[in-house]
Amino acid sequence: MLDSVLKSISAVTEFILSISTLISLFWGTIKQKKIDRNMAATAIVSLILLCILLFLSGKSEQFFWNSLFIHTSFSVHSKIILYCYSAVALFFLFSFLAEYKIKQFEWIFIAIFVVIGGSVALSSNHFLTLFIGLEMSHLSQYILVNADRDASNTNEATIKFFTINLISTGLMLFGVSLIYGFTGTGFFNTVYYFFESYSSNFEYAGAIVGMMFVLMGICFKLPIFPFHAWIQDLYQVSALPIILFIASIPKIITVFSLLHLLTYPFHGAFICWRYLLIGLAIFSMIWGSLMALRQQNLRRMFACSTVSDMGFLLIGPSMGGDFGLSSAITYIIFYTLNILGVFSLLIVFEKNCHRLNDIRDLSGIIKEMPLLSGIFCFLILSFAGIPPFPGFFAKIYILESAINRSAYFIAILSVLITVINAGYYLNVLKFFVLKSSALKINKFTLSEKYFVKVMIVLIIIALCGMVIFPLKLLEIVQSIAVSILF
């Protein structure tokens, strides 16, 4: 009895989440119109409970809902990671939104809808399910980024974000229709067999073109170099809690969807998408790093560095094999945790002095909050990928996968990019640690200061734990990678 319930749990995860969210939304509308501690707690607890349930559910492959949904080790584990990180991100979002005068309670639910959409995308077995999932999560994001709608330029950035992502949606849908037209199906497992049985006929070439469009659509959302134009403005004008959410959770969703696509339906066309991804990876690394190097604005710098880091991540899957795949998964696990830590600290800093725009606004904080500043330095160095900080360990797996395939050019290029990255991250440290300033710093005013501190420390402990005791993590990652490659 219990077994059968657990087995079907992944079919109804999204249902449970959506229904509970809708009920609390309804309740919130009737009762009050402010962010409520209980609502956020309910959402976070339900995410964690779903995590546990998913963890207990079997790992055998199953299909649900007319084979539109799939239950594999990959989907289960990626959803677990998504839910865990969403719980952390929602916690921060909830803790900080009120501080930014964004008191409407809907924002927290819109954020949950991002997670639900992502969850649908991650367990999809059909291009339409994937599309619906990704679109659902992105539609919620368009609303979310405009939460702070009284601030100047937010609307402009939102419209930019919306329009550019619409193009990506169009491209992706076009690609899906091409694939459907040439293969006659939209199911991943059938498309998988179509691509596996290579032939040089017209249908195959058409489906390849469709695949390219789908991948480009995904690259818009990551973002990867020529499709990145929305990210800088968005980061610059949005409120930091929103950026924290946008920079972390959609990344997980998109990266895992991309990995799912690459290794499941498009696996047979490895030779075709490999060079596309390598090219995109190289350009986004170079562009992202060089642009980040000359940014004076802290938020724009993080936006550019995101482009560079996502390019770095693409190297993993483009090297193929379970090693390349698991390296990318490890990287995104470390990277997102890092993002959550850095942005939550930036919010704490911003709430205690003034709006952080330029990098030089950071100076002077270290004297007032030495412990949190130490953690911030730790995370920045981790971003830069300098040993012995956690980010370095995430990077070496990707480098190792490149070396494994004798892709020396890419390996050398990516370590050079790492050096450039170190340059602008050290620039942050330069203003943060080495330069003093006579800024006026308020006392710690956050109402949830205790829990926020605890959560930040937990993030650090998790990062260090994954470095010092990496075996369990690597085991899980390896099992995910092997499971989707059969």
| CB nearer other proteins, residue 230 or residue 393 | 393
Q: At its nearest, how many Å lie between other proteins and the CB of residue 242?
A: 32
Min dist. Cβ of residue 451 to other proteins (A): 22
State the SS3 of 206-226. Answer: HHHHHHHHHHHHHHHHCCCHH
Query: Cα–Cα distance between 176 and 170 in angstroms, integer?
Result: 10
Strand 62-64 relative to strand 69-71, pairing: antiparallel
Residues 57 and 243: their CA atoms lie apart, in Å, by: 33
Strand partners, 22: none
**Considering beta carbons, is residue 173 or 386 the nearer one to other proteins?**
386
Minimum distance of other proteins from residue 430's CB (angstroms) = 6
DSSP 359: G
Q: Residue 71's beta-bridge partner residues?
A: 62
Which of 260, 404, 271, 244 lies closest to 339 in space, CA to CA? 244
Encoded tokens for 295: 């940014």
Find the Cα–Cα–Cα–Cα dihedral 203, 205, 208, 209, rounded to 10°: -100
Annotate 406-451 with DSSP letters as a single string. T-HHHHHHHHHHHHHHHHHHHHHHIIIII------------TTHHH
- Binding region for other proteins (CB under 8 A): 370-371, 374, 381, 386-388, 392, 396, 399-400, 403-404, 408, 411-412, 415-416, 418-419, 422-423, 426-427, 430, 433-435, 470-471, 474, 478
How many CA atoms, within 13 angstroms, populate the side-chain half-sphere of residue 364?
14
Closest distance to other proteins from the beta carbon of 147 (Å): 37
Residue 224 or 410: the one with the smaller Cβ distance to other proteins is 410
Length of the chain: 486
419 CB-contact burial (10 Å; exposed 0-12 / middle 13-18 / buried 19+): exposed
Nearer to other proteins, 347 or 481 (CB): 481
Q: Which is nearer to other proteins, 198 or 408 (CB)?
A: 408
Reading the block at residue 253, the tokens are 């969703």
Instruction: Compare residues 119 and 326 and give the one whose CB is closer to other proteins.
Output: 326
Kindly provide the b/e burial profile for residues 303-339, where b requires at least 16 CB atoms within 10 angstroms of the residue's own CB.
bbbbbbbbbbbbbbbbbbbbbbbbbbbbbbbbbbbbb
Q: Which is nearer to other proteins, 173 or 473 (CB)?
A: 473
Shortest separation between residue 397's beta carbon and other proteins, angstroms: 8
- Cβ 415 to other proteins, closest distance in Å? 4
List C-alpha distances in Å: 471 to 85, 440, 482.
Answer: 20, 46, 16
Closest separation in Å from C-beta 263 to other proteins: 20
Which amino acid, 447? S
Considering the complex, what minimum distance in angstroms separates the CB of residue 426 from other proteins? 6
**Identity of the residue numbered 455:** M
Enclosing H/E stretch for 71 = strand 69-71
In angstroms, give the least distance from the CB of 323 to other proteins: 10
Of 234 and 428, CB closest to other proteins:
428
CB of 134 or CB of 417, closer to other proteins: 417
Closest separation in Å from C-beta 456 to other proteins: 16
Structure tokens at 33: 């119109």
Q: For other proteins, which is the closer residue by CB, 185 or 404?
A: 404
